Structure 1
Amino acid sequence: MASSGGYTQDLPPQGGYGPIDWAKRIPKRVNGFMVFGSFIAFTTAAWVIFMHRRRIEKGHDLEVNDARIAVHPLYEAERHRMLMRLHRQNRDEERELMKNVPGWELGTFYGEPVFYNMRERFYHPTLEELYAHTKWYDIYNKAFEKLEH
């Protein structure tokens, strides 16, 4: 089993390797005043940036709060419109269901008012009363609507 080329052994370079550096090297110590000074500088810069951003955020929060206050009456009016529309649907449904019952007055139970309202104030009914003519899962979905958002 002769090889085609001659065998050469891996040898050190001519003149040998350089000297081995075995001496202990101690890095320069950082001055404590420099460390403390840089800490103070970075902390001050961060605090200035934080206060600047906080002022901007307060202004933004004030603007958003003012917008919410301005829109709130419109939101409440829309909620009341929806509630009145639902009352009308319930009244129409009651009229349709009880049209063949003799002596039935709309909004009463055989002539007696269902609710005692001496001051003629608006009555806020429960969800079950509002959604009396709907499926049970519609009431459930309306009651837990915020969980979906």
Structure 2
Amino acid sequence: MEGGNIATWVTSGPEVFKAFDLHSTILIHHTLVTDITAAHGDMPPPGGFDAIKYKRNLPLRGPSGIVILGGVTALCAYGFYRVGKGNLEKRELQREKVWSRIHLVPLLLAEGDRDAYRRQQAALEREKEIMKDVPGWEAGKSVYNNPKYRSGEWVVVL
């Protein structure tokens, strides 16, 4: 660096450093640094460095074990309470369903009897029509020679 303020250009890849002598200004990476003669080695700044933070900086521990146990117990108690209420509601709905079916049985049986009577009368009319040319044939007479009437077997499923 001869001549005091004569600039020296140094290229290193795409970066260009423009350097002057040590008592002047330095432009590095488009940053202006002045008065580098003020640094006299590895001395601390005036007033010293900040204190070194060596203590552990941990967050709070959170709730204690008894608080967690109490919370879990309260949550379980509330859950069992809700399950119990749900069981009562389900039992009441089941009881209502059974009683509604019990009360519907006579209506359904009467409907089935009307349907069976209608079908029996239609079958009797068809038998009369089909067997009208057979002498001595009595329509609707039991082929088992039994005067008792017996309806079909009915199974009621609740």
Normalising to structure 2: TM-score of the pair? Answer: 0.52
1:122 paired to 2:150: yes
Deviation of the 1:25 alpha carbon: 6.1
Deviation of the 1:57 alpha carbon: 2.4
2:140 corresponding residue in structure 1: 107
1:48 paired to 2:81: yes
Rate the CA distance shift 1:115–1:40 in 2: closer, same or farther, 3 A.
farther
1:4 corresponding residue in structure 2: none
Q: How many residues align?
A: 101
Structure 1 gap ranges (5+): 1-6, 12-22, 126-149
Rate the CA distance shift 1:88–1:28 in 2: closer, same or farther, 3 A.
same
Q: Distance in 1 between matches of 2:145 and 2:99?
A: 39
Structure with greater proportional strand content: 2
Structure 2 gap ranges (5+): 1-13, 16-28, 30-55, 154-158
Q: Aligned letter for 2:98? A: N
1:92 corresponding residue in structure 2: 125
Q: Distance in 2 between matches of 1:115 and 1:33?
A: 85
Question: After the TM superposition, which residues 27-66 of structure 1 pair with which residues of structure 2 at under 5 Å, given as runs?
Answer: 28=61, 31-66=64-99
Q: Which has the higher contact order (CA 8 A, sep 6+)?
A: 1
Q: Distance in 2 between matches of 1:69 and 1:94?
A: 38
Percent identity between matched residues is 24
Larger radius of gyration: 2
Deviations 1:12-49 (A, max 9, x none): xxxxxxxxxxx896883663333322221111001111
Normalising to structure 1: TM-score of the pair? Answer: 0.55
Rate the CA distance shift 1:45–1:101 in 2: closer, same or farther, 3 A.
same
Question: After the TM superposition, which residues 129-148 of structure 1 pair with which residues of structure 2 at under 5 Å, given as runs?
Answer: none
Rate the CA distance shift 1:117–1:26 in 2: closer, same or farther, 3 A.
farther
Rate the CA distance shift 1:90–1:33 in 2: closer, same or farther, 3 A.
same
SS at match of 2:150: coil
User: RMSD of the TM alignment (CA)?
Assistant: 3.0
Structure with greater proportional helix content: 1
